[in-house]
Structure 1
């Protein structure tokens, strides 16, 4: 009965760990690069922001394009002025309509008017500068969208390497688990022969359990890295796990890197365009102090019946307007635009200096990462040799169990550290390329 319960419990544990049937999907870095530009949500948001800015720029076409409208209005009135004017517009006024009694107390009069209106801006200097500001803003968002694409390429590459690292860690710990079990079997044999104490057996059992626990965490990290990659690709990873088609390399390639900050970097160009947009808005605010010249015209048709066109007339003209004083409203807008323009210049300068600071820092980090890879590789090789020697001596009864376990732990730790160091170097190199692109 106990054996039966143990079998059920073991099956339940195995189902909880592996029973959630998952589809393992092999994916390459090239596949991700192709998908990311069409599926990523962050990129879609950036594209919508750019489209919104383009729409603002299209609205600014109103500074030189006409405004055309059509209306049809029907009224029924006994108002003396409206009734007289309606008849006059319909061209049906007679001498009898000038009778004071009829003028003061007219009968119900109907009037239907069809009107075509056009308003044509001629000289609106503030509007011209406003349109230039909208164009600079649109270009800034387009550049920011391109920079977002470059950032996502970096982020996807990082996520892919994290997935590679997670799988590599699982492989290392599975190997360690196999080695630990082999050591446990050896220690159990020695214990049965009376060559080792109970504490030695318990220490090895504890170590095997620790490795099994680390292996489970490593498998969870695989799922976490896979889920994040799925998030970047905007794909549902429920019941799925990605597996990289390329394994993480244990070595690095040293290349000469560009360490100069380029003013042609998309985000820096976007900041320049943003600053330009605020400068144009400042100029637009200045030009609001100047007069505006606009033309207007209309063509009207009147009748006593709906949609009638018995009487027709047109009106054309031009207006020169100048807002001389509006209670400091225009002055306040100008002062605000000036402050925002100056703020944009300061923000651009700050962003450029921060970018240079980040570039200098990353350049040093790359050198540190290279040194860390070399040292971790050496440490791993040394720990491997130390473990091999201790394992041979332990088999001959010349080494303590605790020393063997310590050596084994150190070897696994150094191998994982080497993998982490390679990951850090490769990502830092790509990040430096991103900063100098």
Structure 2
């Protein structure tokens, strides 16, 4: 009975290691909501969009005035500054034109309050830069939405992996119980002299193998739970998730889609990015055109702090044309053109790669459906084979090794079938992700 004691102790400690922690029941709908609210990758995508939105908001300066105000205090004995300060303060007298005072003025103080405004009127390059910023913002918004769809897919996959891990634990627990029961039967046969010691040892090895597989399966539960917690951005210290819904053991075939839709958000995002580069290319061309801007200022001068004794204003417009800047604008235009052409090629390459991936996924789905059918048949056959060998063994017509082989095959085929169903259901979900 010594080997029974060690087996039970091993099973007990394995159970304590896995289940000696809080178990959190979660549904598929619940994890989808948590992922949408807390996933870090989604938050990063949202911040990237907000950054692009802020860039677009900066382009409002193309239409809105630039208003500034300043108050300057100075003390000077500089002849020109002293004369100009008095002139601005409107306090010049005839004595101020005395050459000795002009050349060697006394200390003069001046306080100036200036309110200035600059209003862009015609800036063709800035207009296209604004259009490029708007397209860039749209691209990041679409990319953020696509990231949300991807996180939903990844969360569903993680949930199915958790379901599969728990189902594998269930299968292996059942296999462990069967192996222990077989060990008890073989041990009784050995005591009666009906089997040899090697038969008992073979069954003990089988019990140890199943216990080891169960230990790894329980570790997979923790691994799957940890990954799901990472996607949900939750701390799982001393905690483990458990799905409320069992793993599906059947499949539902779907109609295959042959072409990648043009309105898929990631493809639309690339097209928006391509548009942004195209607008930047046009903007670089417009950089050779003149700019027209208006300006104005209202000025207050006094000898006292914050004084407003003397007043004046300036209003005007400036037409500026950067005729030659050392070929900087030419180089900028050439770079913008290359970036636009590169974006066009990247969009085309991505669409073709997506179509290739869709074709492969369609074939994988067909292969997965075939695999489910074959593993289902193999599992049913393994069940029948084990039942027959178990009955024949009880009658003394089968060897212990044959019974162990049949029992091992049964567990293996059941796990293979569960894996095949998981692969089919995920491939089907991934196909839906590729086509919307």
Where in structure 2 are the equivalents of 1:387-402 lying within 5 Å?
Answer: 387-402=386-401
Which position in structure 2 is the counterpart of 1:274? 273
- Are 1:241 and 2:240 counterparts? yes
Which position in structure 1 is the counterpart of 2:193? 194
TM-score, with length taken from structure 1? 0.97
Which position in structure 2 is the counterpart of 1:435? 434
Which position in structure 1 is the counterpart of 2:293? 294
Secondary structure of the residue aligned to 2:315 is strand
Q: CA offsets, 1:70-124, max 9 Å, x none?
A: 0000000000000000000000011100000000000000000000010000000
Q: Please, which runs of 5 or more residues in structure 1 have no aligned partner?
A: none
Where in structure 2 are the equivalents of 1:20-419 lying within 5 Å?
Answer: 21-419=20-418
Partner Cα distance (2:9, 2:29) in 1: 41
Partner Cα distance (1:335, 1:162) in 2: 50
Q: In 1, are the aligned partners of 2:11 and 2:211 still within 8 Å (CA)?
A: no
Instruction: Quote the offset at 1:191 in angstroms.
Output: 0.7
Partner Cα distance (1:392, 1:249) in 2: 31
Partner Cα distance (1:281, 1:305) in 2: 51
Partner Cα distance (1:49, 1:273) in 2: 15
Partner Cα distance (1:15, 1:84) in 2: 95
Q: Extract structure 1 runs of 4+ deviating beyond 3 A.
A: 9-13
Q: In 1, are the aligned partners of 2:18 and 2:218 still within 8 Å (CA)?
A: no
Partner Cα distance (1:365, 1:389) in 2: 35
Q: In 2, are the aligned partners of 1:161 and 1:423 still within 8 Å (CA)?
A: yes
Q: In 1, are the aligned partners of 2:14 and 2:215 still within 8 Å (CA)?
A: no
Partner Cα distance (1:199, 1:16) in 2: 29
Instruction: Quote the offset at 1:13 in angstroms.
Output: 7.3
Secondary structure of the residue aligned to 1:294 is strand
Q: CA offsets, 1:386-416, max 9 Å, x none?
A: 1111111111111111111111111100000
Instruction: Quote the offset at 1:21 in angstroms.
Output: 3.3
Q: In 1, are the aligned partners of 2:89 and 2:303 still within 8 Å (CA)?
A: yes
Q: In 2, are the aligned partners of 1:20 and 1:239 still within 8 Å (CA)?
A: no
Q: In 2, are the aligned partners of 1:258 and 1:433 still within 8 Å (CA)?
A: no
Partner Cα distance (2:248, 2:144) in 1: 32
Partner Cα distance (2:105, 2:399) in 1: 122
Q: CA offsets, 1:306-328, max 9 Å, x none?
A: 10000000000000000000101
Q: CA offsets, 1:35-86, max 9 Å, x none?
A: 1111000000000000000000000111111110000000000000000000
Instruction: Quote the offset at 1:256 in angstroms.
Output: 2.1
TM-score, with length taken from structure 2? 0.97
Partner Cα distance (2:55, 2:83) in 1: 46
Partner Cα distance (2:336, 2:36) in 1: 36
**CA spacing shift, 1:195–1:163, aligned 2, 3 Å:** same
**CA spacing shift, 1:72–1:278, aligned 2, 3 Å:** same
Q: Please, which runs of 5 or more residues in structure 2 have no aligned partner?
A: none
Q: CA offsets, 1:146-175, max 9 Å, x none?
A: 000111111111001000000000000000
Instruction: Quote the offset at 1:254 in angstroms.
Output: 1.5
Q: In 1, are the aligned partners of 2:379 and 2:413 still within 8 Å (CA)?
A: yes
Partner Cα distance (1:147, 1:260) in 2: 18
